[in-house]
Chains A and B, each alone.
Chain A
Amino acid sequence: MTVRPRVIALIAALVVGAVAPLPGHAQRAPVILATTTSTQDSGLLDVLVPTFEKQTGYSVKTIAVGTGQSLALAGRGEADVALCHAPSLEKKYVADGKLLNRRLVMYNDFVIVGPAADPAQVKGTTAAAAMKRIAASGSPFVSRGDNSGTHQLEKMLWKLAGVEPNVGSYIESGQAMGATLGIADDRDAYTLTDRATLLAFQKRLRLPILVEGDKALLNVYSVLQVNPANGPRVNATGGKAFADFMIAPETQRVIKTFGVEKFGQPLFVPGAGTNEAEVGEKK
């Protein structure tokens, strides 16, 4: 046990190294960004966040947890800015005064995928009609079941269709989109997915797109600032800086071409400055 003092010294040095801030980091308070998994899983934030950090000197802590949890964290003041995709839920937070200045950043669309045999006959119908037929036929449907933006939209589509999901064939994965697609593929089930995640997983899936292009399937991403009154230590200026960055023209140009290299098509359409009604018209 003669090595002990040396080992202790080494470990003490490691602790100090781990806790001390990295050299060269700006002294500005870090910005906590609460966001949905699709912005991170698609790789978009890996491109945008370092640019923002370089431009402003802020360091960003990206917490990718799904829209439901993101908004809840931001509403408690545990984050400084939120990038989400559940318009109706977001508007509720804005109406409550918890989140401020909701601004549209970009959009793409959701699609309904399902087994190629299409037992519920949904191909080419509208989203609402498809949900109705899936429920009526008793075909399995995999839901995220996690209060994410995708799950929010799914619940809205059931409402729009005026039906309840078929209890016996309704599967709740409780997982992110990629894992949910895997389950749907395995069970020959229908599911609702954002197009970006579907593209990322396409190689491993047999499920074709059956319903697309419906206005109800728009996937709108907005950035929201956190009301500093929500809790102690909210970095409101940092949050605003990130929100402003997301809608800046240079950022919007990056979004426009993001994904072309890897997937052969862009994953998002920049939409800063437009309102949701206009976005819907363009589709």
Chain B
Amino acid sequence: MDLVLDGVRQALALLASGDAEIRAVLWLSLLVSSTATFVALLVGVPAGVVLALGRFPGRRLLISAVNAGMGLPPVVVGLFVSILLWRSGPLGALEILYTPAALIVAQAVIAWPIVTGITLAAVQNVPEAFRLQLKALGASRTQIAWVVLREARLPMLAAIMAGFGAVISEIGASLMVGGNIKGQTRTLTTAMVLETGKGNFDSAIALAVLLLVLIFLVNWGLTSVQQRRTP
């Protein structure tokens, strides 16, 4: 137990000292995961709206695929993204393997089905009568989608939180496509694995505390936006 206390103490000391390496790791984790979540939103929200409001053959199968994708194992994503980005792979010419860009790609793939799945559920939750009313008022399909999305904005923030939470705490894909390179692709989770592998359990615990604090702060921010307008 004193190991945990030492770790917490070290975490506070690290934060207070403004250690450059820790700051870089914290910043990279935040940057990569928030960018990946943003990319997932760009792709996932329209996909969720189309799946929720559209009627086309194969829709149910796609919805099942998205729901299954919410449990997409990061290590599977890591393996396939690595092979795609290998020098000998189809996207090898980009030369982004073992860079933050590769981390963003892998994390966006992980967050995407989560964002789509929650968007889908949120939009479907808006009463059908509301949509019919809009239609009766002469709204176009894009206008309907936009208004319905606005109605569903509170659960949409849950989609952001779930997507961000999944990727900031993810390890398998980040290790494989990033390589845990010091100063370049070392995130909070991959640094924790390394410190544990080195036998530096106190440093690992300090990183764990930082990760938890970061996740809490981000969700606190999002929650205060979410709850601001509710009665």
Cα distance, A203 to B198, chains bound together (Å): 12
With a CB–CB cut-off of 8 A, which chain A residues contact B139?
none
Residue of B101, B104, B181, B196 with most partner-chain A CB within 10 A:
B181
Instruction: Establish whether residues A18 and B88, one from each chain, have CB atoms under 8 Å apart when the complex forms.
Output: no
Q: Could you say which of A36-44, A98-106, A130-138, A186-194 contacts chain B?
A: A36-44
With a CB–CB cut-off of 8 A, which chain B residues contact A76?
86, 88
CB < 8 Å: which of A1, A18, A49, A77 contacts B31?
A18
CB < 8 Å: which of B31, B88, B179, B199 contacts A178?
B199
A48 at the interface (CB under 8 A from B): no
CB < 8 Å: which of A18, A32, A62, A232 contacts B101?
A18
> Please, how many residues of chain B have a CB less than 8 angstroms from a CB on the other chain?
27
Instruction: Establish whether residues B198 and A62, one from each chain, have CB atoms under 8 Å apart when the complex forms.
Output: no
Q: Which of A1-57 contact B (CB under 8 A)?
A: 1, 11, 14-15, 17-19, 32, 37, 40-43, 46, 49
Ordered by A's residue number, 9 sampled pairs between the chains whose C-beta atoms are within 8 Å are: A18-B100, A18-B104, A32-B98, A41-B194, A49-B182, A62-B182, A63-B98, A63-B181, A77-B87
Instruction: Establish whether residues B100 and A19, one from each chain, have CB atoms under 8 Å apart when the complex forms.
Output: yes
B184: nearest chain-A partner, CB-CB: A61
> Please, how many residues of chain A have a CB less than 8 angstroms from a CB on the other chain?
34
Instruction: Establish whether residues B34 and A11, one from each chain, have CB atoms under 8 Å apart when the complex forms.
Output: yes
Residue of B88, B99, B153 with most partner-chain A CB within 10 A:
B88
Cα distance, A156 to B32, chains bound together (Å): 43
Q: Chain B residues in contact with chain A, CB under 8 A? A: 31-32, 34-35, 38, 86-88, 92, 95, 98-101, 104, 153, 179-182, 184, 194, 196-199, 201
Instruction: Establish whether residues B199 and A233, one from each chain, have CB atoms under 8 Å apart when the complex forms.
Output: no
A113 at the interface (CB under 8 A from B): no
Instruction: Establish whether residues B197 and A179, one from each chain, have CB atoms under 8 Å apart when the complex forms.
Output: yes
A197: nearest chain-B partner, CB-CB: B199
Instruction: Establish whether residues A61 and B181, one from each chain, have CB atoms under 8 Å apart when the complex forms.
Output: yes
Smallest Cβ distance from A15 to chain B, in angstroms? 5
Smallest Cβ distance from A26 to chain B, in angstroms? 14
Known contacts A18-B104, A200-B198, A232-B92; A64/B180 CB under 8 A: yes
Smallest Cβ distance from B223 to chain A, in angstroms? 16
Instruction: Establish whether residues A14 and B87, one from each chain, have CB atoms under 8 Å apart when the complex forms.
Output: no
Q: Which of A147-174 contact B (CB under 8 A)?
A: none
Cα distance, A76 to B83, chains bound together (Å): 12
Convert A191-210 into 0s and 1s, putting 1 for each residue whose CB lies closer than 8 angstroms to a CB of B: 00000010011011000000
Cα distance, A232 to B89, chains bound together (Å): 10
With a CB–CB cut-off of 8 A, which chain B residues contact A61?
98, 179, 181, 184
